[in-house]
Amino acid sequence: GQNIDQPTEMTATEGAIVQINCTYQTSGFNGLFWYQQHAGEAPTFLSYNVLDGLEEKGRFSSFLSRSKGYSYLLLKELQMKDSASYLCAATDSNYQLIWGAGTKLIIKP
């Protein structure tokens, strides 16, 4: 079966760094996406990885290891506005996105 696992909830302090992990198991693999979703809003695109390694985009970075079926999203210099859910999604052999349940990130002052 196809499965995406990520922690349900994480708490971090404003100004700190947090790493959100995601493991995936899909029939075929064509890349991994991270999306951000604020409460009551639509998901919005953060990053995409298809090759092993780290992709950096400002305060956010995403890492992929295809051999381990593992990715993480790294958020630096946390701000209160980063309080949101972070969704991991893997693209399967049919190019469909398989979504994790999301990690709710709570930022404390």
Partner 1 sequence: IAGITQAPTSQILAAGRRMTLRCTQDMRHNAMYWYRQDLGLGLRLIHYSNTAGTTGKGEVPDGYSVSRANTDDFPLTLASAVPSQTSVYFCASSDSGTSSYNEQFFGPGTRLTVL
By CB under 8 A, name the one of 12, 22, 43, 69 that touches partner 1: 43
Q: Is 49 in the site for partner 1 (CB under 8 A)?
A: no
Interface residues for partner 1 in 76-105 (CB under 8 A)?
87, 89, 91, 95-102
Q: Is 60 in the site for partner 1 (CB under 8 A)?
A: no
Question: What DSSP string runs through 36-77?
Answer: EE-TTS--EEEEEE-SSEEEEETTEEEEEETTTTEEEEEE-S
Alpha-carbon distance of 65 to 68, in angstroms, equals 5
Q: Which stretch binds partner 1 (CB under 8 A): 12-20, 26-34, 58-66, 72-80?
A: 26-34
Phi and psi for 21 in degrees, rounded to 5?
-95, 155
Choose between 48 and 70: whose C-beta lies nearer to partner 1.
Answer: 48
Helix (H) or strand (E) holding 15: none
Alpha-carbon distance of 62 to 73, in angstroms, equals 5
By CB under 8 A, name the one of 31, 60, 70, 74 that touches partner 1: 31
Binding site residues, partner 1, CB under 8 A: 4, 8, 30-31, 33, 41-45, 48, 50, 87, 89, 91, 95-102
